[in-house]
Structure 1
Amino acid sequence: MNAAAFAVNLAATAGAALVVMLAAFAVGLRTGRHRGVDVAWGLAFTAIALTGYALSANYGGGAGGGLRRALATALVVVWGLRLAAHIARRGRGAPEDPRYARMLARAPAGRRTAYALRKVYLLQAAIAWFVSLPVQAAQYLPDPPGAVVWAGVLLWAFGLCFEAVGDHQLARFRADPANRGRVMDRGLWAWTRHPNYFGDACVWWGLFLLAADAPVGWACIGGPLLMTWLLAFGSGRPMLERQLAAGKPGWAEYAARTSSFLPRPPRRRVRTGGADGA
């Protein structure tokens, strides 16, 4: 790996993530809603991957490394665009996301705009850049893909399918008026309360494996670790579950029988005198 070229790449990809998030910030100010940052999340990863692909053209293609470089880029772009499109469709015409409404309610008086920029947009730009480090490293590795890389592709594919199927199942469930106010506990949602978050974690561990056959890849292991922590213990599952527990009848029973993150067969259904989440 050319260290000087990779350093330039790191600066450029940080700039790409920043541009995407600043554009999303401008849209959020104009609409008065900041939920669009979730669409920009997938687009920021896509911009980082495409920027790295362009800059690594003269450094990541030697001795068959061009295939690894192309794989790393394509897998991120497919994941990022699918996620952005899904969230855009889901949020069309919706009011502000309660997570961001609560966050911005804590902003100091008269500083809501600066607080939103710092806590919502700039933070997510930095996280996207950091999580993407294994992909950026893979784009600069000159060796052709080996068994570890292909294992990463398989894990990525599994995670993407798991996430996409879970999203599709939930969308169909919500589209049925008979399910209004009920907890989704069917399909993959019977095995884990968050198929989309689990799938995301698998995607990023798969992408990490694209660089894991080189020492620089292991130096970037913080990327998938951070993504997994955010999904399972940070701003993902805990924040969403607090919201659901407060306003979704049947949630407590569903949570008691369903794994919080890693898929497993549901526990035996326990009926109570309250509302049924099925």
Structure 2
Amino acid sequence: MIGRPFCSFSSLLAGRAASRMGTPMSSLGPLGQVAAVDMSVQFACFAVAAALQTEKFYDISASLTYVLCVLLSFRAGGRSTRCKVNSGLVIAWAVRLGSFLLWRVIHDGGDSRFEKVRMHPSRFFVFWAVQAVWILLTALPVYLSNSKPNTEAELEEGRTQRREKEKVCWRDVLGWSLWAAGFTIQVVADMQKRLFQADPRNKGLWIHTGLWKLAQHPNYFGEICMWWGLFLSCSTTLRGWELLSVASPCFVAFLLLRVSGVPLLRKAGLKKWGHLQEYQDYLKRTRLLVPLPRRF
């Protein structure tokens, strides 16, 4: 019941985007409709953010877009247990992370990533464009799996095979277990970091307790695990070129490890604490991503 208004709203957005491009809505296909909603929401939010010169709803707009896109793809396809679970997992992740990041940016008064760009629309736009691509690529396996035709619409001879594909299998169980582990790690890591930073005794220090004692970026490890878990479950129904959506978890890992995650934090960390021997020892002894016992 809750999803119906969101689906209708996302369909309306996709329809308007298609009409602006002079393309009939029906010709876009499920994935095209998802892309249209994604781009429409992100670019509309950018226009407002640029006018107000604020980044405070950057992350929450991503969460909303994920929810809209997942529900739209779910509406287009089957109603298997796999589709329901995977859609629910993406929505749970998006709502949790989006609300956490929104609270953080309000509490901190802003996001340091945007200090030098929010006054320059062209540079500010790049962040929103990258986020639009991020939303489309990261959840691509779920969009594709959800968009599979309904069993009722298929030919009689194909129904048995379809039902077999819809059954929960070991890949689903393994994928959901991996997602649950990643989600737990990310939630715990975020909570530990927030509590550490809230303690006045830790002012000016880097977090080196809890999961952060075992890994420099345990929250990123959790993020990567979640998207690999979703791909593993979705891969049960993906065929042919659709399996190229393995680029989803690879893209997440690449972006976090090589582009916008670890490199930026490493640079900021070295600028603050690089002169301290304790920090240098922390970097040498603590694993980058996977929470495991420290090196000696």
Q: TM-score, normalised by structure 2?
A: 0.77
* 1:215 corresponds to 2:222: no
Q: Of Structure 1 and Structure 2, which has the larger fraction of its residues in helix?
A: 2
Q: 1:27 to 1:189 in 2, by over 3 A?
A: farther
Contact 1:197 1:261 in 2 (8 A): yes
Contact 1:134 1:207 in 2 (8 A): yes
Aligned ranges for residues 224-243 of structure 1 at < 5 Å? 224-243=249-268
Q: Distance in 1 between matches of 2:62 and 2:133?
A: 11
* Higher alpha-carbon deviation: 257-266 or 159-168: 257-266
Q: Distance in 1 between matches of 2:123 and 2:101?
A: 24
**RMSD (Å), alpha carbons:** 2.3
Q: Which runs of 4+ in 1 moved over 4 A?
A: none
Q: Percent identity?
A: 27
Q: Which residue of 1 aligns with 2:69?
A: 48
Q: Distance in 2 between matches of 1:180 and 1:262?
A: 26
* Higher alpha-carbon deviation: 92-101 or 224-233: 92-101
- Picking from 105, 119, 122, the partner of 1:114 is 122
- Give the superposition deviation at 1:245: 1.5
Q: 1:162 to 1:40 in 2, by over 3 A?
A: same
Q: How many residues are treated as equivalent by the alignment?
A: 250
* 1:263 corresponds to 2:286: no
- Picking from 162, 165, 175, the partner of 2:188 is 165
Q: Distance in 2 between matches of 1:68 and 1:26?
A: 37
Q: Distance in 2 between matches of 1:101 and 1:158?
A: 34
Q: Could you give the per-residue CA deviations for residues 248-267 of structure 1, whole angstroms, max 9, x where no partner exists?
A: 46533321221111222123
Gaps of 5+ in 1: 269-278
Q: Which residue of 2 aligns with 1:137?
A: 144
Q: Which residue of 2 aligns with 1:13?
A: 34
Q: Which residue of 1 aligns with 2:211?
A: 188
Contact 1:166 1:189 in 2 (8 A): yes
Q: Distance in 2 between matches of 1:67 and 1:97?
A: 38
Q: Could you give the per-residue CA deviations for residues 141-169 of structure 1, whole angstroms, max 9, x where no partner exists?
A: 55222110121111111100000000011
Q: 1:6 to 1:186 in 2, by over 3 A?
A: farther
Contact 2:50 2:124 in 1 (8 A): no
* 1:177 corresponds to 2:200: yes
Gaps of 5+ in 2: 1-25, 149-161
Q: TM-score, normalised by structure 1?
A: 0.82
* Higher alpha-carbon deviation: 204-213 or 6-15: 6-15
Secondary structure of the structure 1 residue equivalent to 2:215: coil
- Give the superposition deviation at 1:185: 0.6
Secondary structure of the structure 2 residue equivalent to 1:34: coil
Q: 1:7 to 1:244 in 2, by over 3 A?
A: same
Contact 1:49 1:73 in 2 (8 A): yes
Contact 1:132 1:223 in 2 (8 A): yes
* 1:197 corresponds to 2:220: yes
